Amino acid sequence: MDGAASDTAGGTAGGAADDGAGPTSTTDGVELAVRALLARADGDADAAVHHARAAAAAGSLLGHALSRYLDPAAGAAAAAGATAPVYDAPAAFQAFVDGGGNVELYRRTSAALAAVYRRAPRGRVLDLGCGDGLAVVPAVLAAGDAAPASVDLVEPSAALLADCRARCAAAGLAVVAQAPTPTPTPTTPADAPAGPTPTDGRGPAAGTTVRTWQTTAQQWLGGPAAGQRWDVVESTFALQSLPPADRAAVLSAVADRAATLAVVEFDVPPEPATPEDRARSLARRYEHGIAEYGADRDLVTQGFLVPVLLGLVDPAASRTNWEHPAATWAADVAAAGWTDVRVEPVADYWYAPAFLLTARSGTRG
Ligand SMILES: C[S@@+](CC[C@H](N)C(=O)[O-])C[C@H]1O[C@@H](n2cnc3c(N)ncnc32)[C@H](O)[C@@H]1O
């Protein structure tokens, strides 16, 4: 998740806070959290800890989360090496998407995908970066008679894909092939290769054949999947995980291999003028987002939100997200060869509004 400052309201940091006198409001605390982020951006780890502690003392939830993550005296997650890629050990990510504003966001996202399926009934669908299936599986079920005939699910995280397969089985969908690497897909569901039969014994709920592939979108499309075609290629909050050059290559690779593209992402504000404005915008939004979590707040912040945030501001941290305003996404999709690009709102959300982008293949066939 990336973003910029379109908001200008808010308090200023009390100068006394740095001197130990302490700020007096959460707004001051958020401003101290901004200083912590800027210190990380400057490579000043000690100053970052100092400001994070002060932010936490001032009542900032983000300050508390940063302090826990960065402060060696607090058992710092970063210092302890708990900085594995956020989707490889995904308990925190899954707690995040299962709670707060994500409940309504995902309900609307699945409804938006189901509406796309109804415009291409019984089609072949490819989902890039499906995660644990929280968006795509309910969408398939909600589409009813228009549910896809087949769905290819591509996801590099073994843990998330295993949970996705379990979600499919629990929903009564037939997972007929589970491949660690791409292999040619059949031309019709009836030609599906022999593989594990439906794991729950109930059979396919929607007559939908599901194939799962543990690999990246880049590897999938550049490998034996080359030459395959789909009616719908979709991705929800996953193309943001690809660096822009890789994403452009992926969008181009599917531009003449699918009739419809459907992407759900966040319409983040334009890039701000200064690093300070960018850090401030992120800090204010994260403060709201973190407040949506209660008992699992530490899990969500330490295992997902803080590492993602630091990846945006700290050059030494692993970056997990490259995001843009919706207009930039639309331009990138058009540049990749898609036509009839349309953007519509999906949901308001603390980080940024979510949108559905749809487009048609320029060579539709
Ligand atoms: C924010 S999650 C979204 C997951 C799911 N689409 C959803 O809506 O819940 C981003 C997903 O992108 C996946 N991802 C990261 N890099 C990827 C890549 N190169 N190709 C495909 N998926 C990728 C991650 O493993 C993760 O599951």
Q: In what order do the strands lie in the sheet with 354-361?
A: 174-179, 209-213, 150-154, 124-128, 230-236, 258-266, 354-361, 338-347
| pLDDT < 50 regions, the chain | 2-23, 81, 182-204, 364-365
- Taking CA atoms only, the protein residue closest to ligand 1 atom 23 is 129
pLDDT at 363: 61
pLDDT at 79: 53
Cα–Cα distance between 116 and 113 in angstroms, integer?
5
The DSSP element (H or E) to which 108 belongs, if any, is helix 102-118
- Most distant CA atoms of the chain, gap in Å: 72
Question: Per-residue b/e over 143-158, b at no fewer than 16 CB within 10 Å?
Answer: beebbbbbbbbbbbbe
Distance 240 CA to ligand 1 centre (A): 8
Distance 9 CA to ligand 1 centre (A): 33
Under a CB-based contact definition with an 8 Å cutoff, are residues 58 and 28 in contact?
A: yes
pLDDT at 22: 46
pLDDT at 10: 32
| Pair of tokens at residue 137 | 């599986």
pLDDT at 77: 65
The DSSP element (H or E) to which 150 belongs, if any, is strand 150-154
From residue 89, alpha-carbon distances to 44, 49, 169, 198, 298 in Å are: 28, 25, 22, 26, 15
Domain ranges of the chain: 15-82+275-313, 96-268+323-361
Cα–Cα distance between 50 and 52 in angstroms, integer?
6
Distance 127 CA to ligand 1 centre (A): 10
| Pair of tokens at residue 79 | 């210092």
Predicted TM-score (pTM) of this structure: 0.87
pLDDT at 206: 61
Question: How confident is the model over 248-281, as pLDDT tens digits?
Answer: 999 999 998 999 999 999 999 999 999 999 999 9
Distance 18 CA to ligand 1 centre (A): 39
Cα–Cα distance between 46 and 242 in angstroms, integer?
31
Atom of ligand 1 at shortest range from CA of 154: 21
Question: Per-residue b/e over 204-239, b at no fewer than 16 CB within 10 Å?
Answer: bbbebbbbbbbbbbbebbeeebeebbbbbbbbbbbb
> Which of 97, 102, 237 has most ligand 1 atoms within 8 Å of CB, for mutation?
237
pLDDT at 223: 82
Atom of ligand 1 at shortest range from CA of 106: 8
List Cβ neighbours of 24 (8 Å cut-off, separation of 6 or more). 14, 58
Cα–Cα distance between 223 and 186 in angstroms, integer?
15
**Collapsing DSSP states into helix, strand and coil, what is residue 129?**
coil
Under a CB-based contact definition with an 8 Å cutoff, are residues 163 and 133 in contact?
A: yes
Atom of ligand 1 at shortest range from CA of 216: 20
| Per CATH, domain 96-268+323-361 is 3.40.50.150 | yes
Q: Is the CB of 237 under 6 A from ligand 1?
A: yes
- Taking CA atoms only, the protein residue closest to ligand 1 atom 14 is 129
